[in-house]
Chain A
């Protein structure tokens, strides 16, 4: 279906990534947002707080991130599309509720505008240090989807994508921004509402007697209902059967949790998204995401000028990871170069997929700024010319 035109500011506007994220949420149909102030993400909810009253939305500034991350889930079960927004320390506080959303298959969006950590770290400066936390931060096994925008335009586009994927797979979707992308101001094109594709919530409309809240369709995703519709649903974070009732057995655990993991794994080919540039003749491939995918470009251009056959694979969706593609490339390239603003997170996934077949050069950065493209260039050079 197409977006509700109400509130969609179609046209070209000059805004930063945080504001673009807020506009993306509005265009996606988000009408409930909860948040707690934290740099560098606060501008997202500030814009939502400004915009919501006149378009029928409900924004509430909760008492902390724990409350925000579960208030949105209450709102989803009441039928809203909902989002919360935070940065590192708040993201840490939200972990239990990412697990709850995964376990109860509550479609919702978590935005993490990454800053340098650990702890309070560098509140106003960028990092990409929450990538593993995004995937594994809550206890137990589950699947999520994480998306990495590199511009205000993509903050807009990918917030819509985040909502759509969360509805399609009934999972929490994490928009992994960073301080640079959040505070960078660029021209953003907001299309007319009738050109914005929206994945509608998969509501069950049949009779209550036949309804099982956690009985999946063939794609492993169960349809949903909302509170107040007469289905007398029970939703629990305990291991549960298809009706939603707690069952404390290894068999129930296997059936439910394996599906939660497989829901993403088996649909990974449909979910995975990356962009490639100059890959065909490449001997070395730079794998990047988020703001670093822009910083890598001058390094790649310089290396090409210097005669190095280097290509670029940029992760749009970091989780699930495009392991098939990385494995394919590892059959024919000599090296991968992985720049990221951390001391080694997504590079571990590359290493896992490559299995020691080719050289992997990690370009680490502790956070607080983006890379100097020279550092990326040097690793590209080293990987092929040693």
Chain B
């Protein structure tokens, strides 16, 4: 992928993201070197250039370090329960289809406790953007093993190393029906920004996985250095392979990382399917549902 990605206006003042943040809540709770703030910056830039009516954008988070994103975004924002951001977002979106609903949460929240909701929202193709920050660990609770912890990595509940296979999340999302699937790392800020913007403008269930450093609980315990070292690892070991077969993009402990936009396809959304079906079924008696 070349320079066409670099569509961010370099002349913009650096602090334009502030209007997207609840500055009265700063400083945030994230650790030095954590990748979440970097991705929030990308998210703000993506919103800024998206052309979306920001009063109609709602951010929904679950629980955990990334779950705190909703609390810092200066839009309608909902900090729900652990794992349940997606079903809350489903209700929000289906009740008012004019809203642009973004779920912003972590790997444990969305794919362990929330895994059931993730697969069903993708299957139904509910029109929402899911931004999943994958830091390979439960950070908020002290570094426990997650469904995304790579084989052999150490966590507080796998002190001898992890022997469970981890999720290949792009493959999971695609096989469940997501219409847009991308993976980047917190190092790839311009790609992340572009992907989030594309996901926001995509109709249907769009999914962006962002790998990010957790220096306090993942890197330190695994003797991988600090946040910067993890960013260097992302830089040196990522390979951009757009349209890669998602079956082939599994992650391993400090191994190669395949990043890119893997899926970008069309499929009727839940609401479109419902409206089309009922229009055929009931004819003129049916008034198209629009919230």
Report the bound CA distance from A246 to B289 in whole Å. 36
Whether B289 and A56, one on each chain, are in contact in the complex, defined by CB atoms closer than 8 angstroms, is yes
Enumerate A34-50 residues with CB–CB distance to B below 8 Å.
Answer: 34
Determine the residue in chain B with the shortest Cβ distance to A67. Answer: B87
B56 within 8 A of A: yes
Contact mask A230-248 → B, CB, 8 Å, 1/0?
1111111110000001100
* Chain A 57-81 per-residue mask, 1 if CB under 8 angstroms from chain B, else 0: 0101011101110111111111110
Given the known interface contacts A74-B95, A237-B81, the answer about A228 and B87 at a Cβ–Cβ threshold of 8 Å is no
Query: Is residue A306 contacting chain B, with contact meaning CB distance below 8 A?
Result: no
Q: Provided the pairs A58-B95, A82-B95 are in contact, do residues A74 and B79 lie with their beta carbons within 8 angstroms?
A: no
Q: Given B55, B95, B282, which contacts A78 in the complex, CB threshold below 8 Å?
A: B95
**Stretch from B42-50, B70-78, B219-227, B255-263 forming part of the interface with A:** B70-78
B92 touches A77 (CB 8 A): yes
Count of chain A to chain B residue pairs whose CB atoms are closer than 8 Å in the complex? 134
B79 touches A75 (CB 8 A): no
A74–B75 CA distance with the chains assembled, in angstroms: 15
B89→A74 contact, CB < 8 A: yes
A63 near B120 (CB under 8 angstroms)? yes
B84→A234 contact, CB < 8 A: no
Given the known interface contacts A63-B120, A67-B87, A234-B22, the answer about A54 and B285 at a Cβ–Cβ threshold of 8 Å is yes
Give bound CA distance, A237 to B286, whole Å. Answer: 38
* Contact count band on A: 35 or more
| Complex partner residue of A77 from B24, B78, B79, B98, CB under 8 angstroms | B78
Flag if A246 contacts B71 (CB, 8 Å).
yes
Looking at the assembled complex, report how far the CB atom of B130 sits from the nearest CB atom of chain A, in whole angstroms. Answer: 14
Q: Which of B24, B89, B91: most chain A Cβ within 10 A?
A: B91
Report yes or no: B87 in contact with A78, Cβ–Cβ below 8 A: no
Chain B proximity mask over A70-106: 1 for CB below 8 Å, otherwise 0: 1111111111101000000000000011001000000
If over half of A's interface residues share one DSSP class (helix, strand or loop), that class is named, otherwise mixed; here it is: mixed
Chain A residue nearest in CB terms to B85:
A70
Residue A191 at the chain B interface, CB threshold 8 Å = no
B99 sits at the interface (CB 8 A): yes
Interface residues of B in 115-143 (CB under 8 A from A): 116-117, 120
Contact at A227–B71, with CB atoms within 8 Å? no
Does B278 belong to the interface (CB within 8 Å)? yes
Is B60 part of the binding interface, using a Cβ–Cβ cutoff of 8 Å?
yes
Q: Does B30 contact A (CB under 8 A)?
A: no
B94 interface hit (Cβ, 8 Å): yes
In Å, the complex CA distance between A386 and B38 comes to 76
Q: A236 CA to B63 CA in the complex, in Å?
A: 10
Q: Closest approach, in angstroms, between the C-beta of B273 and any C-beta of chain A? A: 12
Contact indicator A237/B79 (Cβ below 8 Å): yes
Please determine whether B120 and A234 come into contact, CB atoms closer than 8 angstroms: no
* Interfacial chain A residues near B74, Cβ < 8 Å: 232
Q: Tell me the nearest residue of chain B to A208, going by C-beta.
A: B55
A168 to B120, CA, bound (A): 34
Q: Across the two chains, which residue of chain A brings its CB closest to B94? A: A58
Q: Does B90 contact A (CB under 8 A)?
A: yes
Check A53/B278 contact, CB under 8 A, given A64-B116, A67-B117: yes
The reply on A229 being an interface residue by CB < 8 A is: yes
The reply on B287 being an interface residue by CB < 8 A is yes
A79 in contact with B91 (CB, 8 Å): no
Q: Is the CB of A32 closer than 8 A to any CB of chain B?
A: yes
Which residues from 273 to 326 on chain A have a C-beta closer than 8 Å to any C-beta of chain B? none
Chain B residues, CB < 8 A from A62: 87, 90, 120
B291 CB–A CB distance under 8 Å: yes
Binding site for B on A (CB under 8 A): 32, 34, 53-54, 56, 58, 60, 62-64, 66-68, 70-80, 82, 96-97, 100, 226-238, 245-246
Interface CB pairs A-B, < 8 A, 7? A56-B287, A68-B87, A73-B91, A74-B87, A79-B95, A232-B74, A234-B22
A-B pairs, 6 with minimum CB distance: A74-B91, A78-B95, A71-B91, A75-B95, A67-B87, A74-B92
New A-B contacts (7) at CB < 8 Å, excluding given A70-B81, A96-B81: A63-B116, A73-B88, A74-B90, A77-B78, A228-B98, A232-B74, A234-B78
